[in-house]
Amino acid sequence: MTTIKIEQPKEADLEIIHRVLTESYWSPGIPRETVGRACANSMCAIARDEKGALIGFARLVTDKATFAWLCDVIVLPGKQGLGLGRKFVRTFQDHPDLQHLRRWLLGTRDAHGVYAPLGFAPISKPERLMEIHNWSPHGVDTK
């Protein structure tokens, strides 16, 4: 039985999370220290198997009043396709501190079908949003 809890990752978890994130399309080459700082300043959810081993992770950047950005959703190889991505979202959406938020955002290249059944849709008025995007903050070009 897989369990998902809102909790900060342990040091051993951070090593695994860092390894996966540094190989991801959205944060290639991200330094370990940056991953640790990002986790320390976010709500994190950890999925563990019946033996307590890390099998997935998600991070939520939020003020717990008006806004939340879901990011860094990872499911380790061999555990994908079990619905963990959606379970992470539901875990955050059900959290008492996150009720009545005005806006939830996420970015994905290829998992729209995972998040659409949970209420996520393309931004209705993208012309209202702006960004500064550093395409290679860690020295790896992600264009």
Interval 73-85 mean pLDDT: 94
Is pLDDT of 16 > 60?
yes
Is the CB of residue 68 less than 8 Å from the CB of residue 62?
A: yes
For the chain, how big is the Rg over CA atoms in Å? Answer: 15
d(CA 44, CA 68): 12
110 or 140: which carries more pLDDT confidence?
110
d(CA 42, CA 91): 15
* pLDDT confidence band for 133 (50 / 70 / 90): confident
pLDDT of residue 139: 67
Interval 109-134 mean pLDDT: 93
pTM: 0.90
CB atoms within 10 A of CB 103: 9
Q: Tell me the pLDDT tens digit for each residue of 29-67.
A: 999 999 999 999 999 999 999 999 999 999 999 999 999
Average pLDDT, the chain: 93
d(CA 86, CA 98): 16
CATH homologous superfamily for the domain 3-128: Gcn5-related N-acetyltransferase (GNAT) (3.40.630.30)
**118: nearest Cα among 131, 128, 127, 108:** 108
Residue-range domain boundaries for the chain: 3-128
CB atoms within 10 A of CB 51: 6
Is pLDDT of 87 > 60?
yes
Is pLDDT of 142 > 60?
no
